[in-house]
Structure formats: structure tokens, C-alpha cells
Structure 1
Amino acid sequence: MRAMVRAAALRGLEPLVDGLGGDGAALLVRFGIPPGTADDALVPAAAVGRLLETAAAELTCPDLGLRLAEQQDVGILGPLAVAIESSRTMGDALDCASRFLSVHSSALRTSQVPDPEGVRGVIGLRYGGAGGEIPPPQVVDLGIGLWHRIILLLHGGPYGLRSVHLTHPPLAPVDRYTGFFGADVRFARDAAVLRVPVGLAATPVHGGDEVLHAIAVEFLESHFPDPGAMVAPRVRAALTQSLGSSPVRIGSVGRLLRLHPRTLQRYLAAEGTTFDAILDDVRRDAADRLITRTDLPFSQVATMVGLAEQSALTRAVRRWYGVTPREVRRRAAGR
């Protein structure tokens, strides 16, 4: 399933490209993202990565990711931004980001890890792919650059950054990186990491508000429960269980999973699929099993896979396999 990211991740890109002599609107269209797309719209994370890499190459702007990070702030994270900004301590903010970054992008994660250089009193803030994969270089620069700027904001100034690890060789002169982060930058490492003092977690957040934080976290928990879990397999299981015995509607499945239909649709979009696509897949698997492994009349097969009549089954089977249900059964029997 495709990983998705909120379109807000590209906020500021169009004018940045225009300022570099390109055509920002045309660039977005080339990668299937219409200009003016709402921040909450979900776009394929892979397309965003290709877009940034292409723009950096075509505009001869190797520090494009850092430049875009300079144009953005915590606000691009949408509802997660409120929870992070209102945290009581930096540790609360870091934990919140680790738990809920998938609200912004199912492709990315941030976490606290042991210091990759093994220095006592130092921890690492790792930024990378949700499955441990390494994002494209410009995505790494944008993501960890923005994370650095957010921490500066929350801390109210320099936060004791020891050094930065990046997963790629220098894309721009090294002093561009050291100037951006205000610290030593080490390249071609195993993971993108901000190396920070252990004591940073206990530092109060500049402008934290416990009441607002509790409200924001409750909102995230109720609208985005268990963000690390995949919803599509749960939808598939629910459909497999109810197919042919109860109405197949997104509302009924949403009630079973305790999710509002719109929330369920949003989760599935973030996982690169839709309710209708999963239903069609479940229906195809069931129809294939009933057609090839039983002698049930096709009218009964149609009912058992949740179709109103045999003609609907015939149309579906033709779409799936290019032949009629009778031909599928005949081929399975080897006749």
C-alpha cells in the first residue's frame, strides 16, 4: 500500500521554486498535485520525494530541502502541531511527535534512540521512514531541518545540539549545513539523527499549556486511534466476516471498528487504498472460491458475495478475469 503525506508538507514550495527561476505550479502538476491543494489532502509520499529531488536537480539547488524547511514551521503538522506546542516539557513534545507523526505522514517516524556515537549524557532524535527505510536526500534535509527548527521554537532558542547525522553525502557545501544547524554535521551515516543532551527532555516548553495539551491529545487519540496500526487489514477482516450476511456499507464497518466513516476513509487513503477497493478485492476472493471450488448456482454465489443479482456477478467476473463465471468454473475443472 502506498504511503501518503498531507499536502501541507509542500507548503511554501511553489513560491520557492518561482523565486529560483522555475514554475512552481507547473512542477506540482507534473507530479499530480494541483496548485492550491488543501493542506489536509493526502498525496503519495513517493511523489513528494521525486518532486523534491527533481526540483533540486533542475533548478541546480542542492540545498532545496533546507530552503523549504526555512519556509515552514510547526503549523504544517496540522492538529499535531497544537499538541506539540502545548506540551509541558520537551520530553512530552518528543513523545507526542513519536506517537502521532503518522497523522501527518504514514511514511515517516521520529523516535528517541541511544546516542549513535555512544557519548554519555547524549541521546539521538531519529528521523526516517516508517519501516526503517531511508527517505530521499531532499526529504531527509527537509524533515530533519524542520524538526530542528521546531525544537528551537519550543525551547525558545538553542537547545544544546551536539551534532547532526545525515544519511547522504553533502549535497551542498558543508558550511551550508553547519550554518543551518549551528552545529557539526556528519554525513553518510546509518540514520538521520539530531544528537541532543539527555536533559533536554526535562526542559519546559516555551508557552506550554497543560489543559490545551490534554484536549489536543484527546482529539488525536479519538480521531487517530493507534496511529501505528494499519486499518486496511481490519476492514478486510470485517468485510470477509460480514460479506453476504449483512449490508456492505462503510458506515456499518466504521461502527464495527468504532471509526466515523470519514475518519475511516482518511485512514485508508493514508494507507494507499479505499473502502471500495478492499471490498472489491474481498468480493473477488470469495467469488473465486465459490465458483471454482463448489457447484453452487451462480445466483446463489452472487448473494453470498453481496451482489444483488446474477447479472452483477457476471459483470464483476468479466471485469476481474475477462470471462464469464461459467468459463472460470470450466477452466478450474480442467474441462
Structure 2
Amino acid sequence: MTPPIPTRRLGLSGPAIPALGLGLMGLSGVYGAPDPDTPRLALLTRAHALGLTLWDTASAYGDSEVLLGKWFAADPSRRASVFLASKFGLKPDPSTGGIQIDSSPAYCRAQCEDSLDRLGTGWIDLYYAHRVDGSTPVEETMAELVRLKEEGKIRHIGLCSVSADTLRRAHAVHPVDAYQVEYSLFGALAIEGDEGGRVLETCRELGVTVFAYSPLGRGMLGGKIRSRDDLNGEGDLRQWFPRFSGENLPGNLGLVEKLVGMAEEKGCTAAQLSLAWLLAQEGVVPIPGTRRVEYVEENVGAVGVELTAEEERQVRKWVEEAGLVGEREIPGMMVEFNDSVPL
């Protein structure tokens, strides 16, 4: 029987929250066309029943907030039992067909109020700046987030993928409760070292909780992707990621095979092993996303997987030696730890 999901303290003095969350971006597209509402709402209901009640969405995630609004409307009493995070800052660029970053106070407020309308709720538990635009001083963005908090529209404040310097400047205005960034064994450990400006160290110093998005390497660490044929067709954004290219993917499977081997020895899955490794990192909350109920159940099972110190070191050594090829992101997409790079 899977033990209850453990908790983490949010920020310096926030509430106890589940140490494992549910990322909702993929439920509304990105990795293929979204499913009909009925199975998606059923997935949310199953996650809730399992105690997986930390949900992460954003205004930029297709119809995600609208879908959540439907789920809350079906039983308004459930809203208080879900710790809901959302984000602002990304908007369509009609001139290019791409996306612009806007972290201005005016856009922050407008996006928050629009999100509340779509969600059909009076508050958002954790509200992030999805990125900063490089022209709006982060102090101005934070001041508006503080005003929204004082008005009761949001309860906690977060930033995504900013530099350590920007995080410190923001924290000087008002304590930042959360920092979200890609963090996984699939070659996404930059937050730990010099490449990422030692942001993880800064978060721990300031008491900021780290939320790890794509903790399963966009599905790669689940051990079920063996070729590009296992992706979800033309609508799957991973078709365009260099690390998933036909040239690079075969060479990147070596790391996955090692994780699968250790997982089999421990009686768990590679996905559970990968999540357990992140759960063992101080102050880190993984937020894996999925479109399938069976994977929700599998991910929750990660809380019952314990790694010895030696196993944790061995996994890290495999990652360091893996020699993964291909960039993690599509060229020109959002860059982490850099506060002035547009999409």
C-alpha cells in the first residue's frame, strides 16, 4: 500500500503542502491534441482522491484554467482542498505567431483577474511570474503581486526560472515563497551548479521552495519512450526538441536503461525512481504532468520508494557520465536563468 504523500513547508512560513504535485500543461495540449473533457475531469478526480492535491497550471496552458473551473463548479466544496498554482506573463505575439513575455504590473493584474474568472474561484494559492521580460524591474512586478496578495486574490508569490540575482532582488521586496524551474535526471541539473548561477543554493539560503517541472524529462525517464514512434504524432511538441530527434534519441536511451535496471532491482518503475531521487533533494517538490490516470497512480507510488545514500550518488554519477546529446529546449524558446531573453 502506498504511504500518504509527505508534505513540505512552502517558503519560510507558508502552509504544509504535498511534496508531490500535478502539472497540468500537457492535459491541455502541447504533447498532442487534448482529450475530451470527460476523461480529463476524471483524471483530476482520481488525483484528488489519491491526495495529489497540489495542481500547477497557467494562463498560457490552453484551456487548463477553464477545465479546472468546470471541475470546481461540479462540487465547489472541493476548492478548499486543492492547493492551486497558476502563472502570468506569457501572451501571443500576433506579429510573429509566437509568444511575448510581459511581466508588467498592468499585465500581472489583468492576467490574475482573468484567471480567477476562468477558474471560477476567489483566490489562487500560489501565483507565479511565468518569466520576467527584461525591461520591467522585478521590484515593480513584485509590488503588484504584493497588492494582489493584500487584496486576497492570491495567497503566495512565486517566480519561474529567473537568475539568482533577480530572485534576491524580488525577495528584498517581499518574501518569495516558490521558485519553479526544469529539474530532472534527464540532464536538467543546471539549477544546482555554476551554469544556473547556483540558484538552488540561493533558494535554500532564502527559504524558497523549489518546484521541479518536467521532472520526468518530458516523459523520457518513464522508460516507455524507445523511439520517436512512441511520441504522440505531429501535435506533440517533443517532435521538435533536439534531445528527442531521430539522430539524438537513440544515444540518450543509455541513461534511461540504467535507471530502468536499478528500478527493477528495487521493485519500482523508472519514473518512480526518478521522482524519488528528486523527493530526496532538500526543499524540492516535483510536479510531473500526465494525461493518463494510470500514470497519476504510478507517480503517486514514488512516495513509497526510498533511496540509500549510495543509490542517490550512483544515479547522479550516471547522469554526469551520460553525455546526453541535443538541447533540452527548442532553439529560441524560453531560456532559464537569463532575465532578458524573449521567446
TM-score (norm 1): 0.25
Structure with the higher fraction of residues in helix conformation: 1
Larger radius of gyration: 1
TM-score (norm 2): 0.25
